[in-house]
Chain A
Amino acid sequence: MRVTLHQDKCVASGQCVLAAQDVFDQRDEDGVAVLLDDNPPAEAHDDVRHAAAVCPALAITLAES
């Protein structure tokens, strides 16, 4: 799985971090999401799918391999 984060769309809601905290974090200054792992391990895939589905800015896209 390849994760792409579109920071220009992110509204800093933090939903991705709540869903998958090993894969996403938020910048200190403005809360914009940062990607910790663009190729997360299989056990994180469900959480990452949930993060992408719930992101209120549609800022996370996934390419499933």
Chain B
Amino acid sequence: MNTTRNVVIVGASVAGLTTAVTLRTLGYDGRLTLIGDEPHTPYDRPPLSKQILAGTWEPDRITLRTDEELSALDAELLFGRSATGLDIAAGRVLLDGGDSVSYGSLVIATGVNPCRLPGTDLAGVHLLRTLDDALALRAALLRGPKVAVVGAGFLGAEAAAAARGMGLDVTLIDPRPVPMRRQFGDRVGALVGQLHQDHGVSVRCGTGVNQFLEIDGRVTGLELTDGIKLDADLVVVAVGAAPATGWLRGSGLLLTNGVECDATCRAAPGVYAAGDVASWHNSHFDAPMRLEHRLNATEQAQAVARNLLGEELPFAPVPYFWTDQYDARIQAYGVFPADADLAVLHGELENRRFVAAYGHRGRVVGVLGWNCPRELRKLRQLVVDRAPWSSIGAQECLTAAW
């Protein structure tokens, strides 16, 4: 049993808070400090690009814990404070303003920051990561602008759907040939593109952005790589995110793709990482992994709390991710390597109601459901079992799906 009596957690969103809650649930009664740089009571992010953008939920619906639950944690809550450095030899986290906090065990849960493009600083250009970002974007959309979304990953696709839901003129741009290709490949990506087209979005996949056009510091449009100039009063930049590890530079921790950890999510003796910022070896897939998924932030934080208290077991989950766009709910268990095969197990791709399996090196490594939550849940077992690809009895086998 680890005898730590002084746990400090940096990052007070879902991964950080879940670590704190789990530690207390497991009976840890030592000192607990939670440091987060956002001024708000911790809140959940998935609704930001869905109900908050659409205006169907007020922000108070997305708080992760009530004030009573937060105070029941019996933790020192340093909200609105940033960690600026880490001194591992001294066991100290440095804070903005020059003071510091010492720790016996440290949990890093600082998530990711959205990537920027040259032009992101122009008025009328929006990023989408925080509650303030979502509220600012919602307010700007209400003015009825012509919208361009740069990046057709899940975030850009959800933002485009929300803007179309408000009846706006929307263009979705991505250099890859179809939306969400990096997540799910060409076949399913093409269906996402079709979904957006059917809802009236102008989908320009296969073209990048050459430059942002502006007048007096305000965006007026985009020049695309195919030479076309597109008018836009509002541009959403959703081109991925990078682990928030700037404050850890020089600490000695390995920061190749986020905080590099072993299979138990430990980065160094007494130092752990959880959530979007953490890269670890997932022994179920025998592969390095860093996930930007809501459920993973919870599950990894729970594993870190247990391991910090001495369990020291590998964290080997089957990842789960979902996205909502219009009336489509796409859900996925497992991993989706770029050279995977695809087989439809239930329903039909064209009807946009199906479950598909992804096969890699002779095993089922992922299952994806489109408006089929119950069937998908049952077929998840194939990924848990790493079922042989030859055994799944596919109705339709599509090789070279990518």
Contact = CB atoms under 8 A, between A and B. Distances in A.
A17 interface: yes
Contact of A30 (B18, B44, B373): B373
B237 to A, nearest CB: 26
B325 interface: no
A53 B377 contact: no
Contacts of B22: 53
B295 A54 contact: yes
Nearest to A14: B377
B322 A17 contact: no
Q: Is the interface of B mostly helix, strand, loop or mixed?
A: helix
Contacts of A43: none
A3 to B, nearest CB: 17
A11 B322 contact: yes
Interface residues of A, number: 18
Interface string B63-92: 010000000000000000000000000000
A58 B44 contact: yes
Given A53-B22, A58-B44, A58-B64, A14 B374 contact: yes
A13 B46 CA distance: 13
A26 B377 contact: yes
A38 B371 CA distance: 27
Contacts, number: 57
Contact of B299 (A27, A28, A31, A54): A54
B352 to A, nearest CB: 14
Q: Is the interface of A mostly helix, strand, loop or mixed?
A: loop
B220 interface: no
B302 A18 contact: no
A54 B21 CA distance: 12
A39 interface: no
Nearest to A17: B377
B64 A13 contact: no
Given A13-B320, A15-B295, A17-B377, A56 B46 contact: yes
A12 B373 contact: yes
Given A56-B46, A58-B64, A28 B374 contact: yes
Nearest to B372: A31
Nearest to A55: B298
A54 B373 contact: no
Contacts of A27: 374
A33 B248 CA distance: 41
B167 to A, nearest CB: 24
Contacts of B374: 14, 26-28, 31
B362 to A, nearest CB: 26
Interface in B377-392: 377, 380
Contact of B331 (A9, A12, A58): A12
Interface centre among A11, A15, A28 (most CB of B within 10 A): A11
Interface in B92-123: none
28 contacts: A9-B61, A11-B322, A11-B324, A11-B329, A12-B331, A12-B373, A13-B320, A13-B331, A13-B373, A14-B374, A14-B380, A15-B295, A15-B320, A17-B377, A26-B377, A30-B371, A31-B329, A31-B373, A53-B21, A53-B22, A53-B25, A53-B302, A54-B295, A54-B298, A56-B320, A57-B44, A57-B46, A58-B44
Instruction: Please provide the 6 A-B residue pairs with the shortest distance between their CB atoms, ordered closest to farther.
Output: A31-B373, A14-B377, A12-B373, A56-B295, A56-B294, A26-B374
Given A12-B331, A14-B380, A54-B298, 10 more contacts: A11-B329, A13-B295, A18-B377, A30-B371, A31-B329, A31-B372, A54-B295, A56-B298, A56-B322, A58-B64
